[in-house]
Amino acid sequence: MKRLSLYMLMIFGLFALIGCSQQQGTLEPVDEDTAAEAEAFVHEYKEVMIRESNEGSFHDIEEYLVTNSTFYHTLRRYMQDLTQNFKSLSLVSHEVSRVQKNEINEYYVDAVEKVEVTDRKGNTTLEETPITYILVEYHGKFRIMTILKR
């Protein structure tokens, strides 16, 4: 059992090192049309994500994600946890402040989202989170590679 725990700790450490070593590169502003497309994409994603979470589903959200990625599986587990804990979400606001792109065509979309979370007892909390969506283009459409809290 100790060997397994040590092994899992080593794997987690390796993933953490790999994740921390990734650099975003030099970010440049994008043109207005691309910025508008990226903004519309992340707004639509957030609305679908909240609807799917409240319905206990994941199917419709898959088209917004890079499938079979670490983020994909993490989001899927997060949404399952919300459903199992009888929490519902309501989008209060979702404001995009900036869209940039690096030299390998990853798009960085900075936003602040406000989400109202209601637990099974009816208690509500307002969560305001500054985030950065990292998008890539796939067959002419954006896909979310990951989302970072800022």
Tell whether 132 is covered by a domain: yes
List the CATH number of the domain containing 116: 3.10.450.50
Q: Is residue 25 within 8 Å of 104, Cβ to Cβ?
A: yes
The number of distinct structural domains making up the chain is 1
Write down the pTM of the prediction. Answer: 0.82
Tell whether 43 is covered by a domain: yes
**Could you give the CA distance from residue 15 to residue 73 in angstroms, rounded to a whole number?**
15
DSSP-derived letter for residue 34 is H
Strand-by-strand arrangement of the 107-118 sheet: 28-29, 88-101, 107-118, 124-138, 141-149
Does position 94 have pLDDT exceeding 60, yes or no? Answer: yes
Tell whether 9 is covered by a domain: no
118-to-48, 61, 127 alpha-carbon distances in Å:
18, 21, 11
Does position 18 have pLDDT exceeding 60, yes or no? Answer: no
Q: In which domain, by residue range, is 98 found?
A: 28-149
Q: In 3D, which of 119, 112, 118, 107 has the Cα closest to residue 95?
A: 112
| Tens digits of residue pLDDT in 19-50 | 444 567 899 999 999 999 999 999 999 999 99
Q: Is 72 exposed, middle or buried (0-12, 13-18, 19+ CB in 10 A)?
A: buried
pLDDT recorded at residue 12: 46
Tell whether 5 is covered by a domain: no
Tell whether 8 is covered by a domain: no
